[in-house]
Structure 1
């Protein structure tokens, strides 16, 4: 926690924690912007993607032993997109290969997870807002595409005022006492990216739009706006009657954003507020009616709110 706080404080990181927010600011309809609406002052923005948004590439070396012959078809042929399109994986009967090449194994010798032998992976285009791609053709505006378009319409430019920090989602943030070289390396790269983005823009504070990566509540201890959808039926409990785990459970529903139930959201917001207020640091929590977890930067109404928050941070 001390490491996170020092890092964020030194680099003047200004986060916007998603899902988004309600305000009086009237924003033009998405995609109606023109060049006359560009901002005069730009705080650089770093975007992170959702669970499936990062572009993960793989390379199969001689040490790779495929479980099925066609899984080794790309062996020795350099880097290739490991997951580029969900339908392609299914249509080409590549699912068993995908699972094998995506899976991690725990190595007790290093107390860390690693790829399968002979599988090397990397996240493409770190630093670029184009380092994200949607994997489902039914959702062409997913994975920051729509919000990227809106920011570019305001005058934001990739690599100048707009950046991306894609991550290998297979590696969860480590628990205390556990190692994660991938996560540590990512943290260092994000640190360098924040510093680079700030220095490139006259040392302005950076707007870092992120999703909480674990349930451990570690407040960033910088001015923070936390926004979340509400009003969507969300699983609250899963009940196995009579202790019988061989049958499907009964879901008990409550309020939330369709993924995170409202009780958890309120507990998270309350703890963030407590930590920030203890140090006299700005914190705001806003709930957005009828906004879902996955569509928060896709639906027009909720996207308006996200953009309003970004404009306020630029004021």
Structure 2
């Protein structure tokens, strides 16, 4: 297996009836319906410009009134050929925070959507996993479903209002069998909060198993640097002001921040002022003020932190697949230029993006909880996106999905044997 030597840590926590309400009845195959929840940047986005749009430059308004066009993913080749288009993308991709409503929305005159909901066609970077699932009998829109979303947001009631009916419909189309919910990266946090928002009886009825890939249920340290330095999506010709706006206008940027329950008091950011100030996960509001982003404090305190003050178990069976042993940013040390300069980085364990403290949070918090079934699978040397792109890891994900299906078939046979004996 080389770099991907597999180490399995299985924590099976006994309960009187761990599968209560989740046994699927008479099943003649092991294909449970699967719903895919992508991570950040893994959903297509489309936009259209209305008459209310005020472009920062005349060329940015060229598509006014022309209907829907692709906003994401970026065509980097075209952007390099026409670098003046990069500021247009940044303007149309940025959100606007309404402090009065304490809510986020598109800029005036910009309307966006995530197309192909319920289909895998709306997902970016999931091709290998989808192809391997289809090779084993899954079919898009029949047994396999995608749940794309606008990744610039985080908890969005309108998304949950679509995800719940999709799961119910997927179950109904497959003779009432519960679904396997497969999520990656930010999608894990979204799927987890979604499960907590549903009644326990609903979870047990409609969700057989959740497979979390590279789950960051405690945020990650790089999230702080993104807010301080901005993000440019690899585009040319973007001024610092535009990169800062792209990073800080997105609600999901606050979701990336490391949480106190997972990271505790460890220093995550260090600045070279007279006191050599350090910022831990307990000083996020002070950090936001220090980088010149005080408007982020209120939504962080009202919309983000309350959701991550604890990590209660979802009370549906979970498999967490994580990478390990990859150098991952753990502390950012800024120099004399402050937050406008490039920091020195101290590295620790993780998957290259997500710190190990966040990756193992579910294991730490849910082990020993009565009624919660948890299996943790570690892939030494696996990077953050490998579960979607590297054949060995993808096959392990597919195998895990089918293993869940086989357990339902076994449940059904056991039920029939019991009935035959009565």
Which structure: greater helix fraction? 2
Question: Over residues 29-72 of structure 1, what are the superposed CA-to-partner deviations in whole Å (9 max), with x where a residue is unaligned?
Answer: xxxxxxxxxx9321000112232221111111111111111111
**Whole-Å separation in 2 of the counterparts to 1:241 and 1:76:** 47
Is residue 2:179 matched to residue 1:85?
Answer: no
Question: C-alpha root-mean-square deviation of aligned residues, in Å?
Answer: 2.2
Compute the displacement of 1:165 (Å). 0.3
1:194 corresponds, among 160, 164, 167, to 167
**Whole-Å separation in 1 of the counterparts to 2:340 and 2:401:** 48
Is residue 2:148 matched to residue 1:166?
Answer: yes
The 3-state SS of whatever aligns with 1:169 is coil
Preserved contact between residue 89 and residue 98 of structure 1 (Cα < 8 Å): no
Which structure has the bigger radius of gyration?
2
Is residue 2:382 matched to residue 1:291?
Answer: yes
Match of 2:122 in 1: 131
* Structure 1: gaps of 5 or more residues: 1-20, 24-38, 134-142, 174-182
2:36 corresponds, among 38, 47, 51, to 47
Match of 1:108 in 2: 99
1:185 corresponds, among 143, 154, 158, to 158
**Whole-Å separation in 2 of the counterparts to 1:243 and 1:76:** 44
Compute the displacement of 1:218 (Å). 4.5
TM-score normalised by structure 2 residue count: 0.58
Question: Over residues 141-179 of structure 1, what are the superposed CA-to-partner deviations in whole Å (9 max), with x where a residue is unaligned?
Answer: xx1100000011111011100000001011123xxxxxx
Question: For the structure 1 residues 69 and 243, does the alpha-carbon distance in structure 2 shift closer, same or farther, using more than 3 Å as the test?
Answer: closer
**Whole-Å separation in 2 of the counterparts to 1:270 and 1:70:** 52
1:117 corresponds, among 108, 114, 123, to 108
Question: For the structure 1 residues 258 and 70, does the alpha-carbon distance in structure 2 shift closer, same or farther, using more than 3 Å as the test?
Answer: same
* Structure 2: gaps of 5 or more residues: 1-5, 9-27, 190-216, 219-307, 407-422
2:62 corresponds, among 73, 87, 95, to 73
Match of 1:136 in 2: none
Compute the displacement of 1:303 (Å). 1.4
Match of 1:314 in 2: 405
**Whole-Å separation in 2 of the counterparts to 1:68 and 1:243:** 31
Preserved contact between residue 296 and residue 302 of structure 1 (Cα < 8 Å): yes
Pairs within 5 Å for 1:1-315: 40-87=29-76, 88-93=78-83, 94-133=85-124, 143-173=125-155, 183-211=156-184, 212-213=188-189, 215=218, 216=308, 217-240=311-334, 244-245=338-339, 247-271=341-365, 273-274=366-367, 277-315=368-406
**Whole-Å separation in 2 of the counterparts to 1:241 and 1:66:** 36
The 3-state SS of whatever aligns with 2:389 is coil
**Whole-Å separation in 1 of the counterparts to 2:135 and 2:165:** 27
The 3-state SS of whatever aligns with 1:172 is coil
Preserved contact between residue 313 and residue 372 of structure 2 (Cα < 8 Å): no
Question: Over residues 77-120 of structure 1, what are the superposed CA-to-partner deviations in whole Å (9 max), with x where a residue is unaligned?
Answer: 11111124331334333211111111111123322111111111
**Whole-Å separation in 2 of the counterparts to 1:102 and 1:242:** 32
The 3-state SS of whatever aligns with 1:278 is coil
Higher relative contact order structure (alpha carbons within 8 Å, sequence separation ≥ 6): 1
Question: Over residues 250-285 of structure 1, what are the superposed CA-to-partner deviations in whole Å (9 max), with x where a residue is unaligned?
Answer: 2111111111122232234311x24xx433221111
Preserved contact between residue 103 and residue 115 of structure 1 (Cα < 8 Å): yes
Question: Over residues 122-155 of structure 1, what are the superposed CA-to-partner deviations in whole Å (9 max), with x where a residue is unaligned?
Answer: 110000011113xxxxxxxxx1100000011111
**Greater mean alpha carbon deviation, residues 281-290 or residues 207-216:** 207-216
Aligned residues between the structures:
260
